[in-house]
Amino acid sequence: MTPPPPNINPPRSRLRPHHPLPSTTGLRQTLPSYGDAHFSLFLRKVFIKALGYSEDTLSRPIIEIINTNSGFNPCHGNAPQLLEAAKRGIHLNGGIAIDFPTISIHEGFSHPTSMFLRNLMSMDTEEMIRAQPVDACVMIGGCDKTVPAQIMGGISANKPVLPLLTGPMMPGSPRGKRVSTIDVEEIMAVNEELAPTIGTCGVMGTASTMACITAAPRSDSLAGCICTGCVCVPLALQSKRTLLSVESFYNAAIVLQAIGGSTNAMVHLMAIVNRHPDIKGTFTLETLDRIGRTTPLLVDLKPSETMGEVLDRTPFRDFEHSRSIIRPLEDPLYPCSSLAMVYGNIASDGAVIKASASKDKRLLKHEGRAVVFENSQDLAMRIDDPELEVTADSVLVLKGIGPIGNPGMPEAGMIPIPRKLAAQGVMDMLRVSDGRMSGTAGGDDCVACVAGGGGAGVGVWGGGDGGCHSV
């Protein structure tokens, strides 16, 4: 006769003393609501011991690891290796490492845009940290929206969190040169080589920018990942939001300007600031602008310029020549405000321009006739029309791609040069939109993220072709 299964629900009267739990850390925190904390803890231990944990192990600080590995996300392709290395560091320092998944967002596999899903990932991160017993958390991520989403969620969850960045891919270099006109076969060959390894995009785009300003412990090797796990155990004993101070955001802004980072970082940094109840309202676009005016651009990286060309002609062993890549303060690549804030009658709440990426610095102070496109469909239909009334001095304006007017605020602010002007050798024009501009875009005087008083910016501006724009 088969014996009955063990009863995992003993009479609660045996487990319910007349005093509360002596501690609310480790497994004793965020207990499920059964009306009896002691019974909830008993039941939690029953199930987690099924995974092989001993009573002694369960008394240690619990360090959770967010695993964003996904078959649709090559940026996080090395997450399993980073996960195991972080676990070793946590265990070596007396913690217990438990990993769990969240949604994973990749730029090329997120419809309509990855920005559309950033806040959803932030909520997923926040709620899973809140719901589970965690004393501190390591967050593995790297792709553009992942890092800001995780930090936003971690701040709102009010737990010590530490980003562990996946790092950039190796650069692809088809034929090692820039070309003008290529055929379909060559385009297909380039497609095979542009992303030769896993990792985030290897330019100073949004992913690299957020990695730099996050200032996480080094994650350039598995040994560095072990260090991240080691650091996170003592973090569990510290207060939560006090780990991020207003000085932390000042440092991030200084680094952002010094590296000439992506304009998207402005959007994400302000979203992170506004999650912090003690800092919200004290750190604004005006703060970023003020910091930029006193911070020179020091790092010579694409799209501000190309580091590879410098390395090709530089004997790397000679330290003096390395200063051409990371410049000294007295000899900056750009004097100040690599990312500049601009304001005006169609940008009452501000806009941003990546001045350091401009090919024609004269356009940074420019006045011209507006050529206005109502939306991205209008742009696609008319931009290459040979009858389009446009000159090299015109200002191209694209409406309706901001947070109001187009799902996900797409990175469509890099309006292409009209074909008839490109054929004449025009390389750069002044462009204005309420959308975002890709961090990989260089040589484009694009005023991006234009925000009007109603939040829709250019999308509610009533002007049409022929109006005068000046920057």
In the block, tokens 């000679």 appear at 318
Q: Which DSSP string do the residues of 225-263 spell out, in sequence order?
A: HHHHHHHHHHHTTS-SGGGS-HHHHHHHHHHHHHHT--T
Run of H or E including 432: strand 430-433
- Residue 77 half-sphere exposure toward CB, CA atoms < 13 A: 12
Indicate the domain borders of the chain: 60-172+195-241, 347-470
pTM summary value: 0.80
- H-only helix segments in 375-428: 376-382, 419-422
pLDDT band at 460 (very low <50, low <70, confident <90, very high): very low
CA 174/CA 193 separation, integer angstroms: 6
Would you state the structure tokens that stand for residue 306, as one six-digit string? 């190309």
The predicted pLDDT at position 417 comes to 92
The predicted pLDDT at position 139 comes to 95
The predicted pLDDT at position 441 comes to 60
pLDDT band at 421 (very low <50, low <70, confident <90, very high): very high
Q: What percent of the chain has pLDDT over 70?
A: 77
The predicted pLDDT at position 447 comes to 64
Class of domain 60-172+195-241: alpha beta
The predicted pLDDT at position 448 comes to 62
Pick 367 or 121 by higher pLDDT.
Answer: 121
Within 10 angstroms of residue 37's Cβ, the number of other Cβ atoms is: 17
CB neighbour list of residue 240: distance below 8 Å, 6 or more residues apart: 158, 159, 160
Mean pLDDT of all residues belonging to the chain: 82
Q: Which DSSP string do the residues of 49-113 spell out, in sequence order?
A: HTTT--TTGGGSPEEEEEE---TT-GGGTTHHHHHHHHHHHHHHTT-EEEEEE-----GGG-SS-
Which stretch of 98-112, 207-221, 238-252, 396-410 has the lowest confidence by average pLDDT?
A: 207-221
pLDDT band at 294 (very low <50, low <70, confident <90, very high): very high
Residue-wise pLDDT for 320-343, tens only, equals 545 667 788 888 888 888 888 888
Residues 70-92 have a mean pLDDT of 94
Architecture of the structural domain at 347-470: 3-Layer(bba) Sandwich (3.50)
CA 114/CA 436 separation, integer angstroms: 12
The predicted pLDDT at position 153 comes to 96
The predicted pLDDT at position 217 comes to 39
Q: Which DSSP string do the residues of 332-382 spell out, in sequence order?
A: -SBSS-SEEEEEETTEEEEEEEEGGG-S-GGGGS-EEEEEEESSHHHHHHH
Q: Which of 386, 399, 466 is nearest to 431 (CA)?
A: 399
CA 374 to centroid of chain Cα atoms: 29
pLDDT band at 87 (very low <50, low <70, confident <90, very high): very high
Which stretch of 34-43, 304-313, 360-369 has the lowest confidence by average pLDDT?
A: 304-313
CB neighbour list of residue 213: distance below 8 Å, 6 or more residues apart: 252, 253, 255, 256, 261, 265, 269
Which stretch of 71-80, 286-295, 449-458 has the lowest confidence by average pLDDT?
A: 449-458
Would you state the structure tokens that stand for residue 175, as one six-digit string? 């034929």
463, pLDDT greater than 80: no
The predicted pLDDT at position 1 comes to 52
The predicted pLDDT at position 348 comes to 81
Pick 76 or 309 by higher pLDDT.
Answer: 76
By CB atoms closer than 10 A (0-12, 13-18, 19+), residue 53 is: middle
158, pLDDT greater than 70: yes
The predicted pLDDT at position 133 comes to 93
pLDDT band at 455 (very low <50, low <70, confident <90, very high): very low
Residue-wise pLDDT for 164-174, tens only, equals 999 999 877 76
Residue-wise pLDDT for 57-68, tens only, equals 888 999 999 999
16, pLDDT greater than 70: no
pLDDT band at 177 (very low <50, low <70, confident <90, very high): low
The predicted pLDDT at position 450 comes to 64
pLDDT band at 305 (very low <50, low <70, confident <90, very high): very low
CA 235/CA 268 separation, integer angstroms: 25
The predicted pLDDT at position 434 comes to 86
Contact 448, 206 (CB under 8 A): no
Pick 212 or 447 by higher pLDDT.
Answer: 212
Residue-wise pLDDT for 197-240, tens only, equals 999 988 888 999 999 998 643 444 566 667 777 777 887 766 56
Residue-wise pLDDT for 20-59, tens only, equals 666 677 888 888 888 888 999 999 999 999 999 998 888 8
2, pLDDT greater than 80: no
60-172+195-241 and 347-470, same CATH topology:
no
The predicted pLDDT at position 458 comes to 45
